[in-house]
Structure 1
Amino acid sequence: KRSEGRDHIFPIHHPWSFKSVRKYVKNAIWLLPDMDSTGNWYKPGQISLEKDLILPYVPNVDLCDANCLSENSSKRTTLLFFRGRLKRNAGGKVRAKLGAELSSAKDVIITEGTAGDEGKLAAQKGMRRSMFCLCPAGDTPSSARLFDAIVSGCIPVIVSDELELPFEGLLDYRKIAVIVSSGDAIQPGWLVNHLRSLSPTHIKGLQKNLAQYSRHFLYSSPAQPLGRLDMENGVSTSTLYLVDMIDFG
C-alpha cells in the first residue's frame, strides 16, 4: 500500500507468468524477456522500459569456455545452424518461412528440435560446430536461442523486428551478432549471401567479442561481481551484479 507496489519485483519471464494477477501488480518492476511488441502477451499499460527490466533467458546449453572455443575453432564448418521448433505463433511465424527458404542451402543446417538431454546435446554440438546460429523470434519477439548461441561462441543472426535486448543501453549487440530484418531474411538467397559476404576480419572480431561478453549472460549463485575491465569497456558492473543477485527461485 505504501508504494502501490512500485517497490516490488516480479519475475514475469514467460508469456504466461502471473497472467491471472498481472492487473494487480502492474505498478511493480517486472523482469521480462522482451517488451512484446506484438501486443499478444501483455495488455497496454502493464509494461514499459521506464519501470521494467529485460533479462537474458537462462541458457539451455553449457558455456563454451576459452578451451572449448579453441578446440572447436577449426571444427566450425557449418555456415548457419538452427535446431528448434519451426512452427510458432505471432512474430515467430517467420521461422517456417526461414525454414522453407534455407532448408536446401549449402552448408546450412535447419532441423526440428527435441526436448530433453538428447535435444540439448544435439543443439550444443551443432552450435559449437557452426559459424553462425539463426535466432528468429519465438512466440514473443525474443528467443532463448540467442543466449544459447552467445554462450556457444556461435555468432547469433538475429531475425526479429522491433526487439529490445537485455542491457541494450550498455552492450552494443552489433559487436557480437548479425542483425537483419525479417523482410530481408526471407528473400530467396539473401541471408546466405549476406553471411558469406562478411569479411574474415569482421567475423574474427565478432567471435572475439563473443568470447569476451558471453559471461555477462550467465547467472551464478553466489553472485559474481565483475571487474574493472568491464567498467572500462562501458559495461555497468553494478547493474549486472544487481541482476545476478536476483533470486529466481
Structure 2
Amino acid sequence: MLPISVAQIVRYVYNPLTTYSRDQLMWITIDYTNIIAHRYPYWNRTRGADHFLASCHDWAPPDISRAESGKELFKNIISVSYSPLDFIFFYFLVLYNANKSEGFKPEKDVPMPEVNLQGFKLSSPILGLDPNNRSILAFFAGGVHGRIREILLQHWKDKDEEVQVHEYLPKGVDYHGLMGQSKFCLCPSGYEVASPRIVESINIGCVPVIVSDYYQLPFSDVLDRSKFSLHIPSRRIAEIKTMLKNVPHAKYLKLQKRVMKVQRHFVLNRPAKSFNVFHMILHSIWLRQLNIRLYH
C-alpha cells in the first residue's frame, strides 16, 4: 500500500475554495509515487500492478491517472474507489465513482459499495418489516444532488402515497423506519454515480431500485444484481410506479429473500468476518490483478 492523505494535501497545499486546479495534488502524488518506484525494486517487477493507493476523495485517482505525467506511472495500478465523503478510497484503483462514461474500466478497476457510517460506528443490518407487511411501494429521501435526483424529485416529490419521494423528511420522522416499511428503495445517482442507499436498502431488507446510467455495480463479478435488485434508467423515471406495480408479488418476494441472503457481503465488521465487505473488496482487487498482462 502507498499511504497518502488527500485530506492533508488539501489542508496544507491545495485550497479548493480559491482554485479548481488540482495540479498541486497531482504533482505531490506523482512525485511521491516516483520516489517509491525508483527506490524499491518491487514496483518495477510489475510496473505498479501489485500496488494500490489509499485516498479519501473520489476525484483524486481519476485526475492523477489521466495526467500526462502520471499515465505511465499509474497505468497498471488497479483502481479501487468509493464514496467522496463516507468511506476511504483505494487505488489499486478501486473507485466508488464507477462511472463507465468517465473512464472507469471494469476489467481493470474495482467499484466499491458506499457505506454511510452513522456516527462513524460500524452497524449491523436493521430489521425491517416482514415483506408481506410493507405498505409503501417505493421510498426515497434526499437532497437535489445531481441531474438524476433533480428529475426524480420533479416527477415524484411529495406527489404519491405509494411512491414516497421526499427532498427532506420532517424533523422526527424515522428515515430507516420508512425504509423498513418499503418494498422497494429508490437509489438514484448523485453528482457521482455512487449512492449509500444501495447498502442501506440491502441492510434493511428493502429491494434496491438502482436509478442510474453508466454505473458499474460493486461485486458484479460474483453477485448477479438482477437476482436481488432492479435497474431503471434515468429516461424512465416517470414510469417508476407503473414498472414497480408490474412486478408480480411472487417475484418481489424472491428478490427480497435474496436481498437478505446477500446482506453479509455489505456489512462492516471489526475484526472482519468471512465474506463481509472487506473480504469482497479484496477479492475484487485480486480478480483485477489476475487480469493485468504486462508487456515489456
Q: TM-score, normalised by structure 1?
A: 0.74
Given candidates 174, 192, 205, the residue that maps to 2:226 is: 174
Q: Deviations over 1:5-52 (max 9, x none)?
A: 32211245642345775544623221111432342xxxx5xx533332
| Aligned-partner Cα distance in 2 for 1:60–1:102 | 28
Q: Partner letter of residue 105 of structure 1?
A: D
Q: Partner letter of residue 111 of structure 2?
A: I
Q: Partner letter of residue 112 of structure 1?
A: E
Question: What's the secondary structure of 2:74's corresponding residue?
Answer: coil
Asked whether the 8 Å contact 1:10–1:31 carries over to 2, the reply is no
Q: Partner letter of residue 167 of structure 1?
A: F
The aligned residue for residue 26 of structure 1 is 74
The aligned residue for residue 217 of structure 2 is 165
The aligned residue for residue 152 of structure 2 is 98
Q: CA deviation at 1:175?
A: 1.1
| Aligned-partner Cα distance in 2 for 1:12–1:54 | 14
The aligned residue for residue 115 of structure 2 is 58
| Aligned-partner Cα distance in 2 for 1:97–1:245 | 34
The aligned residue for residue 242 of structure 1 is 282
Q: Partner letter of residue 282 of structure 2?
A: L
The aligned residue for residue 35 of structure 1 is 98
Q: TM-score, normalised by structure 2?
A: 0.63
| Aligned-partner Cα distance in 2 for 1:138–1:202 | 28
Q: CA deviation at 1:169?
A: 2.0
What's the C-alpha RMSD, in Å, of the aligned pairs? 3.2
Q: Partner letter of residue 26 of structure 1?
A: F
Q: Deviations over 1:148-200 (max 9, x none)?
A: 111111111111112101111211111111112211223xxx21011111111
Q: CA deviation at 1:123?
A: 2.5
Deviant stretches of 4+, over 6 Å = none
**Structure 2 residue ranges without an equivalent (≥5):** 1-36, 38-43, 79-92, 287-296
Question: 1:1-249 alignment to 2 at 5 Å?
Answer: 1=37, 2=44, 3-12=46-55, 14-17=57-60, 21-22=64-65, 23=67, 24=70, 26-27=74-75, 28-29=77-78, 30-39=93-102, 47-60=104-117, 62-64=123-125, 68-69=127-128, 71-73=129-131, 76-88=134-146, 93-103=147-157, 104-113=159-168, 122-186=174-238, 190-226=239-275, 240=280, 242=282
Asked whether the 8 Å contact 2:131–2:256 carries over to 1, the reply is no
For residues 127 and 138 of structure 1, do their structure 2 counterparts lie closer, same or farther at Cα, with a shift above 3 Å needed?
A: same
Q: Partner letter of residue 95 of structure 1?
A: R
For residues 14 and 175 of structure 1, do their structure 2 counterparts lie closer, same or farther at Cα, with a shift above 3 Å needed?
A: farther
For residues 139 and 73 of structure 1, do their structure 2 counterparts lie closer, same or farther at Cα, with a shift above 3 Å needed?
A: same
What is the number of equivalent residue pairs in this alignment? 217
**How many percent identity over aligned positions?**
27
Q: Which has the larger radius of gyration?
A: 2
Asked whether the 8 Å contact 2:140–2:164 carries over to 1, the reply is yes
For residues 19 and 184 of structure 1, do their structure 2 counterparts lie closer, same or farther at Cα, with a shift above 3 Å needed?
A: closer
The aligned residue for residue 86 of structure 2 is none
Return 73-82 or 177-186, whichever deviates more.
Answer: 73-82
| Aligned-partner Cα distance in 2 for 1:13–1:161 | 24
**Structure 1 residue ranges without an equivalent (≥5):** 228-236
For residues 63 and 126 of structure 1, do their structure 2 counterparts lie closer, same or farther at Cα, with a shift above 3 Å needed?
A: farther
Q: Partner letter of residue 280 of structure 2?
A: L
